[in-house]
Amino acid sequence: MLSSQQQFGEKSESIAARYLKKHGYKIIEQNYRTKLGEIDIIAIEKNTIVFVEVKARKSKHFGNPKWAVTPKKQRKISMVALQYLKANRQSNAKARFDVVSIISSQDNPSIEIIKNAFELAYG
């Protein structure tokens, strides 16, 4: 059984996926997991592979969730993205990293897509 935190995370990722679809993204994978880590959503938008990190909070009490994608998290996402591209023979594909920030205080969540939220980070 999922904890309430895990349920909130899953609900937020579903909200993000629907929102991305509405804005022209084609969802390829959700919760792509490897030994290195996980990417919430992998999508295509205008011939670009987009690796999407979803960050959600129930309020702005601790600030905007988009600021929770730390340099450490960016490195981890980058490593998983590189592994995905290599495994799928897409090493030369155009790719970028987006963040979907959700503040869902009520039934009407505030959603923001931050395109090109960060550059490939490794090392």
What CATH number has the domain bearing residue 27? 3.40.1350.10
Tokens standing for 118?
A: 């960060």
Query: Tell me: the pLDDT tens digits for 48-77?
Result: 999 999 999 888 777 788 888 999 999 999
Supply 69's token pair.
Answer: 């994608």
Domain that holds residue 98: 4-118
Task: Indicate the number of domains in the chain.
Answer: 1
Residue 82 forms part of a structural domain: yes
For the chain (123 residues), the mean pLDDT of every run of 10, in chain order, is 83 93 97 95 97 90 83 94 94 93 83 94 66
Full-model pTM = 0.92
Task: Find the DSSP H helices in the chain.
Answer: 4-22, 71-87
Write the CB contacts of 53 (distance below 8 Å, at least 6 apart in sequence): 39, 40, 69, 73, 77, 97, 98, 99, 100, 117
Cα–Cα distance measured from residue 23 to residue 19, given in angstroms and rounded to the nearest whole number: 6
For residue 95, tell me if it sits in a domain. Answer: yes
